[in-house]
A and B are shown apart, each in its own frame.
Chain A
């Protein structure tokens, strides 16, 4: 595949990836710090290049339902927003999960609660990984830590979304959305033809041919016995994700005595902290979950038998740390270090936290 070098913001990389990955439709509503996604798309006019539809909706409620409509019709559709907007989308997300519709939702997280701040945060971890809306459901959640991953994960998202008929969330943050880094982009993947959609998504509502009964997309099943069966089917699907599609990265883990567990921006900061720690002779490493659901529980359980302690570094008051503790089952000390409300920890304070909370505790 031909690779072309670009310099782009994370938000722009999402938009460029949408166009190049054969996305059929983007529906969004402006909110800082992710407005560049739609701005970039409107400037690029992909409807002239690939036929991709781009529409500014009247609200996030509306844009997520536009995604529901498009996804139910077998198209590759997406939206992006930031925390307050994603909260507004929770209704749509539970319907999407209930109706088993493949789609991509990007959350460029900012600090909360409420209107909060526009600065980077990771305080939407629970919302993203524990359902978010009502009912028992899961999103497949990818956490990019670079502009390149913002781009690459859009392509990965379509594969997973259609493999499982499930919404995929890219859980990013204001820092990764706003930072500009080098990005290698690949060739254009053509949008699916009507014929391809009929094969890939035979369940979709693209118009009833005479050869089959009508297709129905819905999350409603009033018969409790049937609704329970539907729930069991969803749960089985989530177990499959846990079995087959967990992703993580290990940095300096081979000889590590102490482990940072961090994703997204925090993982970048932890990486710098490792550098500083290693200079001081501390054997520190990093386990970076790339998928937050499914979570790398198994790998963390293995590592918990090897290391003396783990520090979960998050731009939140301590959310992922709960999953780390569940995975390690008290086999090693697990603590949390976080800044929140839009504050970003420095590599120095992260290392210091490791020393005071784990190594010298």
Chain B
């Protein structure tokens, strides 16, 4: 199994940390992982993206241009990455702020209203974990047990008390995800 993922959105949405938690969780589950962020000035208030690979084999290239899954959190990223999803692949997006929804028919498309839900629950800090939950429902590349371990490993100790809230958000995401298109 090799899953090549792009996560893209605005800086500040927790894109990089979501990828990090996913990578840590994969590593905890004894998989090969890589996490490759976009970096530099484009991060300052602009868009941010990270590619994460989780695999049972040695990862050849951490630099990828086509993805099994795209997790998309704003319109610019949707415009940029919709066509980079492999045929038969998966696109998951948050409809908040999306004016031109994805149109491809040859990929599986899901949406998760994580922005809306996290605001409603007063959980805006764990918005990204709702999205992660939705992804894991669609693509269970790591099991929940290892998500918890990944959180422990990736969060600084002073934030460990927030782990239960994070795990609750993952559950919320799993329940919230909706199918838009089946290829």
Binding site for B on A (CB under 8 A): 5, 7, 32-33, 118-120, 174-175, 178-182, 265, 268-269, 271-272, 275, 344, 346-347
A178–B27 contact, CB under 8 A? no
Measured between C-beta atoms, what is the minimum distance from A181 to chain B in Å? 5
Residues in B whose Cβ lies below 8 Å from that of A272: 60-61
Measured between C-beta atoms, what is the minimum distance from B33 to chain A in Å? 6
Q: B63 within 8 Å of A by Cβ? A: yes
A179-B39 contact in complex given A268-B63, A269-B63, A272-B61, C-beta closer than 8 Å: no
Measured between C-beta atoms, what is the minimum distance from A348 to chain B in Å? 8
Q: A7-B20, A179-B34 are in contact. List 10 more A-B contacts (CB 8 A).
A: A33-B40, A118-B40, A175-B62, A175-B63, A178-B39, A180-B34, A181-B59, A268-B60, A271-B60, A272-B61
A179–B36 contact, CB under 8 A? yes
**B27 is contacted by which of A5, A33, A271, A344 (Cβ under 8 Å)?**
A5
Interface of A is mostly: mixed
Bitwise, B21-47 to A at CB < 8 A (1) or not (0) is: 001100100001111110111000000
With both beta carbons as reference points, the residue of chain A lying nearest to B154 in the complex is identified as: A7
B40–A347 contact, CB under 8 A? no
Q: B153 within 8 Å of A by Cβ? A: yes
Q: A10 to B76, alpha carbons, bound, how many Å?
A: 29
Measured between C-beta atoms, what is the minimum distance from A61 to chain B in Å? 24
**B33 is contacted by which of A118, A178, A182 (Cβ under 8 Å)?**
A182
Residues in B whose Cβ lies below 8 Å from that of A265: 61, 63
Binding site for A on B (CB under 8 A): 20, 23-24, 27, 32-37, 39-41, 59-66, 153-154
B61–A181 contact, CB under 8 A? no
Q: A347 to B66, alpha carbons, bound, how many Å?
A: 10
Measured between C-beta atoms, what is the minimum distance from A271 to chain B in Å? 4
Measured between C-beta atoms, what is the minimum distance from B153 to chain A in Å? 7
In the assembled complex, 17 residue pairs joining A and B whose CB atoms fall closer than 8 Å, in A order, are A7-B35, A7-B153, A7-B154, A175-B62, A175-B63, A179-B62, A180-B23, A180-B35, A180-B36, A181-B33, A181-B34, A181-B35, A265-B63, A268-B61, A269-B60, A346-B65, A346-B66
With both beta carbons as reference points, the residue of chain B lying nearest to A36 in the complex is identified as: B39
Residues in B whose Cβ lies below 8 Å from that of A178: 36-37, 39
Most buried by B among A174, A181, A346, A347: A181
Residues in B whose Cβ lies below 8 Å from that of A119: 40
Residues in A whose Cβ lies below 8 Å from that of B154: 7
Residues in A whose Cβ lies below 8 Å from that of B33: 7, 180-182
Pick the 9 closest A-B CB pairs, nearest first. A180-B35, A272-B60, A271-B60, A118-B40, A268-B61, A272-B61, A179-B36, A179-B62, A346-B65
Q: A346 to B61, alpha carbons, bound, how many Å?
A: 9
With both beta carbons as reference points, the residue of chain A lying nearest to B37 in the complex is identified as: A178
Q: A7 to B24, alpha carbons, bound, how many Å?
A: 7
Measured between C-beta atoms, what is the minimum distance from B72 to chain A in Å? 20
A180–B20 contact, CB under 8 A? yes
Q: A347 to B63, alpha carbons, bound, how many Å?
A: 9
Measured between C-beta atoms, what is the minimum distance from A114 to chain B in Å? 16
B39–A347 contact, CB under 8 A? no
Residues in A whose Cβ lies below 8 Å from that of B41: 118
